[in-house]
């Protein structure tokens, strides 16, 4: 398919700050989230999780729990149905992972599922779950990252790239440098903590003996198709026998991109009791079995010539994974592509710990890697006595240094300029501890931001109904990001209908297939399919009118036919018009339907596709108490064509808030003796609140990408979080003269 944007008929809706079309349903409580779906005979399930990090179950006592009021099933490794392959997901992550499905008594991490109690009420299930008694034979658990990294190893891949990379002669580049930095940065383990906990409702219908049984899953997921594939494989079912439904998601941030153990366990239990089964994970359980951002140790060595040109870059990453499978946080990928350097080496290594498997977390790899790279660049700018922006401009890459391809578009220079002007960067005194506001130390810092512009195959269906309304469908998701609204805008503009006459449906495997909502790819993938299907349906409608003697468009040429705001008329005689419903009524209440697929083409091999941005931060630091506040953040972004200025602004702001939390607050504290998170709740796991957030100023620069897709749209869900922690870290150095290289930056590090 051609990647060049096509002219879109009808009103200009795309890009407008349209209110969320699902907003009313959410504020009135009519938007049903997974745990809110009611089914006849619904039962409640509670997971029992391990209290050791390594070992095996010697005995598990369930007799008391089984006799308790309302209990229908206590499922353990002793009575759980045997499944085809022990633990294997059968689907490439993120859709599938190694699962803990009660197939044996082995324990590999604390908070691992070891039993599932099903009862007629939540209270009865909780009470019985507390009555399950387990005797373990504990084994040595590896919980010390510093010890584990001594046996670190290379993964097969760092996401979709080689684990290691090299170009030029790093040693020669380092030796020829006039100045350099050799530093280690660390980022901690972080958990997603969406407001909506992970939840599933599993319901079987039919007879499993003749393979006609149907499984319906209501699941809080970012990937209905991935869940279907994983669950179908686990039960040996054709994918068509599994339906997954998820119309609304109360936050995911990557944690809901995989089919985790509780999803399959719910289906196993439902088949056992013959009724729908609903487990909802407790907040503390979400710190065990549904992923997190792994901790990283990142060693950077950067060298520069006297003129500030980079001569050497080395970025070595060690991250933790679980004892079940390899999961790599590819933090060095950003270093491969962001700046020009004749020599560069990167590596990724894994250290195994007896902790659950990590997963995607907002801006995976890039967010954690940008903290280390952008702080190291700031350090080198100080050593080279260059302004941090000037230093970055001197090393800006006009092509992707990692693969040599030209950019599909790049507005990074414009982002530097727009952000610096809005922030007032020219007024910065570069000397640390030189700026004050009363007794408070003031620091200004900045960092670059980038994120790959992903796109995957997607399909959409558009039906123009007899009443003149349009139904648009695709099996994508809305995580609160505005997908319902943006897809409605795209379809309405392409169809020439008012936005109020377009309804978008998503979150169901019975709809046309779309990729999981991750990697900032939903709009870039599904949007072109929606646009193509809407244009095809529109063409069918115009052809019908053109062939109808009673239509004002009868025998009109293509250049004369107008469909705008739901009205059909000729350009030369707009006063004679008719509505879409009237035309369809004359043809027996006809419905017109079109389904179209969208996928990338040869342009993916010809261009490197990324979004770019620049982040500026001001911090105030109390010199006696070390307390840090962030009175303002400015972010400037080049993200192609923005689909909705209001929801886009919201996403970018949310990302920047996330980055502030990463810089100053977020850290999962693991007990080194037990491997269990000690702050596994929203009281002790610190995330930003309203009191932590002050002025956030967001600029979206004009950028035309003629290659990314027919809409010119790049993803924005993750780039807002990239670079914020580094900008704040650099501002803290500017304010205090202390370089903090371990996140989060806390007051004890500054006193």
Torsion (CA) 484, 490, 492, 494 in degrees, nearest 10: -160
Among 27, 732, 725, CA closest to 372: 725
* Catalytic site includes residue 718: yes
Residue 350's SS3 state is strand
Q: Beta-carbon neighbour count of residue 29 at 10 Å?
A: 8
DSSP labels for 97-121?
-----SSSSEE-STT-EEEEEEESS
Residue 526 near residue 476 (C-beta atoms within 8 A):
yes
What secondary structure letter does DSSP report for 284?
G
- Catalytic residue selected from 374, 379, 703, 718: 718
Structure tokens at 243: 């339906």
452 forms beta bridges with 610
Q: Sign (positive/negative) of CA torsion 228, 232, 235, 238?
A: positive
- Cβ neighbours of residue 18 under 8 Å, at least 6 residues apart? 485, 489, 499, 644, 646, 647
Exposure b/e, 239-276, CB count within 10 A at least 16 = b: eebbbbbbbbbbbbbbbbbbbbbbbbbbbbbbbbbebb
- Cβ neighbours of residue 539 under 8 Å, at least 6 residues apart? none
Sheet holding 71-75, edge to edge: 71-75, 113-119, 43-49, 277-279, 200-205, 214-219, 242-245
The DSSP element (H or E) to which 582 belongs, if any, is: helix 580-586
Q: Beta-carbon neighbour count of residue 31 at 10 Å?
A: 17
- Cβ neighbours of residue 385 under 8 Å, at least 6 residues apart? none
- Cβ neighbours of residue 488 under 8 Å, at least 6 residues apart? 21, 472, 499, 502, 503, 504
Helix axes 724-736, 366-383, angle to 10 degrees: 30
Total H helices, total E strands in the chain: 17, 27
Distance CA(84)–CA(384), nearest Å, equals 60
Structure tokens at 292: 């997190």
Residue 722 near residue 370 (C-beta atoms within 8 A):
yes
Structure tokens at 114: 């070891």
- Cβ neighbours of residue 72 under 8 Å, at least 6 residues apart? 43, 118, 119, 120, 273, 275
Distance CA(718)–CA(610), nearest Å, equals 12
Instruction: Tell me the three-class secondary structure of 412-444, residue by residue.
Output: HHHHHHHHHHHHCHHHCCCCCCCEEECCEEEEE
Going through 258-414 in order, the beta strands assigned E by DSSP cover 277-279, 296-304, 310-321, 344-352
Q: What values do phi and psi take at 354, rounded to 5?
A: -80, 65
Distance CA(277)–CA(41), nearest Å, equals 9
Give the β-pairing of 277-279 and 43-49: parallel
562 forms beta bridges with 569
Catalytic residue numbers?
A: 718
């Amino acid at each position: 398919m051609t990647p060049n944007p096509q002219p879109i008929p009808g009103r200009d809706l795309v890009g407008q700050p349209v209110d969320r079309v699902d907003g009313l349903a959410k504020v009135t409580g009519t938007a049903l989230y997974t745990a809110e779906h009611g089914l006849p005979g619904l039962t409640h399930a509670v997971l029992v999780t391990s209290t050791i990090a390594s070992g095996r179950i010697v005995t598990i006592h369930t007799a008391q729990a089984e006799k308790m009021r309302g209990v229908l099933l206590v499922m353990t490794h002793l009575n759980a149905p045997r499944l085809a392959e022990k633990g294997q997901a059968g689907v490439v992550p993120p859709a599938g992972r190694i699962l803990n499905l009660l197939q044996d008594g082995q324990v590999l991490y604390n908070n691992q599922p070891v039993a599932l109690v099903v009862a007629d009420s939540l209270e009865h299930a909780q009470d019985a779950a507390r009555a399950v008694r387990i005797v373990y034979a504990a084994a040595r658990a590896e919980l010390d990252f510093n010890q584990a990294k001594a046996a670190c190893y290379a993964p097969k891949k760092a996401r979709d790239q080689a684990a290691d990379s090299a170009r030029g002669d790093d040693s020669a580049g380092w030796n020829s440098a006039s100045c350099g930095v050799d530093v280690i940065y660390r980022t901690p383990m972080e958990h997603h903590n969406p407001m909506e906990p992970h939840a599933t409702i599993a319901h079987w219908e039919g007879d499993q003996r003749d393979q006609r049984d149907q499984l319906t899953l209501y699941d809080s997921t970012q990937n209905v198709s991935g869940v279907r594939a994983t669950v179908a494989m686990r039960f040996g079912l054709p994918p068509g026998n599994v339906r997954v439904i998820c119309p609304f998601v109360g936050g995911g941030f990557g944690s809901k991109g995989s089919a985790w153990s509780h999803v399959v366990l719910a289906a196993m239990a439902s088949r056992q009791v013959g009724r729908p089964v609903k487990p909802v994970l407790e907040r503390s359980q979400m710190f065990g079995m549904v992923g997190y951002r792994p901790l990283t140790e990142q060693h950077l060595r950067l060298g520069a010539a006297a003129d500030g040109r980079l001569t050497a870059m080395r970025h070595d990453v060690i991250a933790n994974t679980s004892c079940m499978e390899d999961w790599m946080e590819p933090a060095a990928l950003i270093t491969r592509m962001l700046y020009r350097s004749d020599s560069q080496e990167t590596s990724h290594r894994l250290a195994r710990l007896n902790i659950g498997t990590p997963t995607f977390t907002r801006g995976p790899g890039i967010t954690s890697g940008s903290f280390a790279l952008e702080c190291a660049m700031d350090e080198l700018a100080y050593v080279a006595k260059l302004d941090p922006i000037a230093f970055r401009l001197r090393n800006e890459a006009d092509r992707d240094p990692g693969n040599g391809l030209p950019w599909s578009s790049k507005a990074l220079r414009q982002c530097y300029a727009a952000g610096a002007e809005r922030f007032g960067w020219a007024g910065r005194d570069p000397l640390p501890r030189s700026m004050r506001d009363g007794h408070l130390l003031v620091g200004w810092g900045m960092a670059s931001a980038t994120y790959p512009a992903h796109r995957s195959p997607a399909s959409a269906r558009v039906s123009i109904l007899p009443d003149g309304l349009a139904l648009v469908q695709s099996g994508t998701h809305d995580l609160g990001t505005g997908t319902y609204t943006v897809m409605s805008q795209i379809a309405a503009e392409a169809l020439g209908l008012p936005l109020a006459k377009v309804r978008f449906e998503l979150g169901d495997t019975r709809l046309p297939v779309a990729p999981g909502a991750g990697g900032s790819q939903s709009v870039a993938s599904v949007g072109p399919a929606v646009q193509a299907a809407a244009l095809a349906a529109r063409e069918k409608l115009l052809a019908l009118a053109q062939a109808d003697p009673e239509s004002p468009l009868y025998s009109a040429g293509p250049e004369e036919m107008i469909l705008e705001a739901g009205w059909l008329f000729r350009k030369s005689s707009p006063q004679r018009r008719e509505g879409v419903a009237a035309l369809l009524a004359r043809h027996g209440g006809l419905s017109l339907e079109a389904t179209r697929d969208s996928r990338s083409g040869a342009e993916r091999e010809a261009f490197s596709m990324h979004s770019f941005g620049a982040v500026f931060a001001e911090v105030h630091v109390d010199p006696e108490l070390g307390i840090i506040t962030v009175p303002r953040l400015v972010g400037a972004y080049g993200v192609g064509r923005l689909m909705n200025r209001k929801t886009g602004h919201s996403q970018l702001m949310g990302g920047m808030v996330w980055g502030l939390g990463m810089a100053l607050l977020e850290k999962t504290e693991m007990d080194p003796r037990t491997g269990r998170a000690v702050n596994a709740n929203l009281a002790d796991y610190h995330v930003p609140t309203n009191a932590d957030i002050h002025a956030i100023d967001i600029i979206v620069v004009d950028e035309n990408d003629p290659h990314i897709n027919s809409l010119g749209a790049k993803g924005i869900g993750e780039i807002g979080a990239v670079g914020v922690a580094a900008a704040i870290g650099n501002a803290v150095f500017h304010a205090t003269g202390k370089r903090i290289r371990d996140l989060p930056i806390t007051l004890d590090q500054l006193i």
